[in-house]
Amino acid sequence: MPNFETVEVTTDLLIIGGGMSACGAALEAAHWAKKHGIKVTLVDKAAMDRSGAVAQGLSAINQYLGIAEGENTPEDYVRYVRQDLMGVSREDLVYSIARHVDSSVHLFEKWGLPIWRDENGKVIRSGRWQVMISGESYKIIVAEAAKNALGTENIIERVFVVEPLLDGDRIAGAVGFSVRENKFYVFRCKAAIVCMGGAVHVFRPRSTGEGLGRSWYPPFNAGASAYFTIRAGAEMTCQEIRFIPVRFKDAYGPVGAWFLLFKSRATSAGTGEDYLVRNKAVLEEYKPYGTTKPTPANLRNYLGMIDENQGLGPLYMRTEEAIANLAKAYEGDEKAFKKKLKQLESEAWEDFLDMTIGQALLWAAHNVRPEQKPSEIAAAEPYFIGSHSGASGAWVSGPADLAPPEYFWGYENMTTVKGLFAAGDASGASPHKFSSGSFTEGRIAARSACRFIMDNNTLPNVDAAEVEKYKERILRPLDLYEQYKNYSTDPNVNPNYVRPMMYMYRLQKLMDEYCGGVSMRFMTSKTLLERGLELIQMLKEDAEKLAAEDLHELMRCWENIHRTYQAEAHLRSVLFREETRWPGYYFRADFPKMDNDNWLCFVNCKYDRNTDTWEIFKRPIINIVD
Ligand code: SFD
Ligand code: AMP
């Protein structure tokens, strides 16, 4: 094995990840650090300027309340989120983000992010909560501010964090490796914030073969947050709540602006009808959520799937109809009509160019003129994210002033492991944070983590022998490859090891076929899940045989191990919840109905890394808003 230098970094607060929530955490921590002499270090697997979900930019900020403008209140937002997640949300956490989020958006604008405003200076909204932006450079703008606040000397890029280090029941640090140099990193800290995003490519994606790697959420978020918190022994929540977005088919372009800003209908080709209208009787079965507006995202998916399952697809976003409707008001004045049409066309293209460039390319390649021709939409493969319309993540403490005792253990956003905090996609049960809310939650978590450090100002112990063991285990795939690569003519076909791509295919096939992926039309059952759990145990045994040709593949190996833990938590939680609460995300064939009497609750779980066992149990939902 090549010689790997061990680099030790000792700090007070370790921010793990460099995305939206990490940038918020960095900004806030820098403030408290200066005031109280706290050292803060941020580590990201990539380069902060373009790392994480906002890498390509975004075309909207999906959480802006407009509290000062008198538009909405945090209570309104709590009701909206509860409704969208079919009753399952931590209202204290949602409230806490909602009351602070506007100030984050004001900062983004101050730093140079162009927010669309009308001639009176009012933000242009696409929906009740969403504001339009010209956001291609969104992440660069936010990262620049975070870097300026923290100082680049406190930021370590291109280091992939693998595993937590613990001192008893307290976080003590983390280990990882550089993806560019032969360096093994050992971080020691008094508190850490997990901000490593969600998990993509756990399920077989729709885009395989030449399209592999294309997904809606960023393929580089590979379950590190879930792995880190699970392995640290943190209680996890909502691991059954995957997110399946409906997107423009094959390039995953966003639909929000079309539905909300352009007021487009989506129809099934076989009927020519709006599937939301045609199938609306089904919503009665999901009262009160099904019959209250807005219809939850999973139910909107479900109504489309009903037509697809009857062979009435494909589903089409009626872009041509929407543009014609919006331009109608200008008919009669040819000049004004043409101008309006041009504006609508350019807004339609900008929506994609700002955040999903591949969709604009696909439109160009397919000769799509949105003003002339509708475009196919489809439900994507499942993703794990706590920040959008999914909710999986760590179970964290709520704020002192809002959380009931069941949800409060001293420090807001602290997981059940002392000193370990989570934000953004990494924290569970508080969905619909999006980019602005994730940044805001990072700020909340950092302030709280700094307070924890002041109250617990000692450096936890790190067991040197354990670190050495991790070093050997983490780098082992490189050894294995070197040892056996010449055994066969083609290094891909070798009985002594598994290459990361093959391992990933196996994981994805397993999840797809047994846990309700795209090819199973999102349907699963007890017997399928139990078989999936048997197979995942065997996959975990083979994880010991993962082999890496270079540092990049070493990262791929560990990304897959991270995904496997997310997969197992999901399988177990879907199995535990004996109902179908989120049709359109997944269906339990053996429990096809929603069951509010028994399952209007959180499903939480906990892993013990010493015994490799899981505990799974219910937690109550406590409403704090009427
Ligand atoms: O509408 C490691 N999102 C949208 N939010 C909006 O506000 N408006 C939109 O228009 C949104 N849309 C959207 C969105 C996302 C994507 C991909 C698309 C469209 C195509 C959601 C937000 O982007 C999202 O809520 C936040 O970004 C979540 O923030 P956070 O901090 O939880 O995750 P991140 O930003 O992805 O950052 C993750 C970081 O972790 C790093 N990382 N670092 C070290 N070691 C490891 N092992 C690591 N693994 C990961 C990453 O490099 C990154 O820095 S719309 O279409 O839905
Ligand atoms: P999306 O592009 O689907 O991520 O949507 C962006 C935002 O608009 C998110 O807040 C969605 O929840 C919301 N949204 C998308 N489509 C609809 C719809 N048909 N009705 C209500 N809200 C929607």
Check whether residue 353 and residue 335 sit in a common domain: yes
Last residue of a domain, one of 312, 347, 379: 379
Check whether residue 270 and residue 303 sit in a common domain: yes
Check whether residue 26 and residue 133 sit in a common domain: yes
Indicate which residue's Cα is closest to atom 35 of ligand 1: 19
Ligand 1 within 6 A of CB of 40: no
Note the pLDDT of residue 563.
98
Task: Sort 91 into a burial class: Cβ within 10 Å, 0-12 / 13-18 / 19+.
Answer: buried
Check whether residue 250 and residue 233 sit in a common domain: no
Asked if residue 180 belongs to a domain, the reply is yes
Asked if residue 296 belongs to a domain, the reply is yes
Check whether residue 204 and residue 57 sit in a common domain: yes
CATH number of the CATH domain containing 328: 3.90.700.10
Rounded distance from Cα 255 to ligand 2 centre (Å): 7
CATH number of the CATH domain containing 496: 1.20.58.100
Could you say which ligand is closest to the alpha carbon of residue 359? 1
Please report, for residues 8, 222, 314, 471, the alpha-carbon distance to residue 476 in angstroms, rounded to integers and kept in the order given: 20, 20, 47, 8
Query: Has residue 2 got a pLDDT over 80?
Result: no
Check whether residue 281 and residue 346 sit in a common domain: yes
Ligand 1 within 6 A of CB of 52: yes
Last residue of a domain, one of 354, 379, 404: 379
Q: What is the mean pLDDT of the chain?
A: 97
For the stretch 145-174, pLDDT in tens is 999 999 999 999 999 999 999 999 999 999
Check whether residue 478 and residue 585 sit in a common domain: yes
For 392-417, what is the mean pLDDT?
98
For 512-541, what is the mean pLDDT?
98
User: What is the token pair recorded at 182?
Assistant: 């032969």
For 284-289, what is the mean pLDDT?
97
Asked if residue 465 belongs to a domain, the reply is no
Print the domain residue range for 63. 5-240+386-455
Check whether residue 223 and residue 266 sit in a common domain: no
For residue 434, give the ligand 2 atom closest to its CA.
Answer: 10
For residue 22, give the ligand 1 atom closest to its CA.
Answer: 31
Ligand 1 within 6 A of CB of 256: yes
Q: How confident is the model at residue 1 (pLDDT cuts 50, 70, 90)?
A: low
Q: What's the full length of the chain, in residues?
A: 626
Check whether residue 591 and residue 526 sit in a common domain: yes
CATH number of the CATH domain containing 424: 3.50.50.60
Check whether residue 491 and residue 550 sit in a common domain: yes
Distance, in Å, from the CA atom of 166 to the CA atom of 189, rounded to the nearest integer, reads: 10
Ligand 2 within 6 A of CB of 62: yes
Asked if residue 620 belongs to a domain, the reply is no
For the stretch 554-603, pLDDT in tens is 999 999 999 999 999 999 999 999 999 999 999 999 999 999 999 999 99
Rounded distance from Cα 228 to ligand 1 centre (Å): 17
For residue 175, give the amino acid letter.
V
Ligand 2 within 6 A of CB of 270: no
Check whether residue 434 and residue 399 sit in a common domain: yes
Rounded distance from Cα 325 to ligand 2 centre (Å): 20
Q: Which sign does the torsion angle of CA 387, 391, 396, 399 carry?
A: positive
Last residue of a domain, one of 353, 379, 405: 379
For 363-375, what is the mean pLDDT?
94
Asked if residue 555 belongs to a domain, the reply is yes
Query: Has residue 213 got a pLDDT over 90?
Result: no
Q: How many domains would you assign to the chain?
A: 3
Query: Has residue 229 got a pLDDT over 70?
Result: yes
Note the pLDDT of residue 132.
94
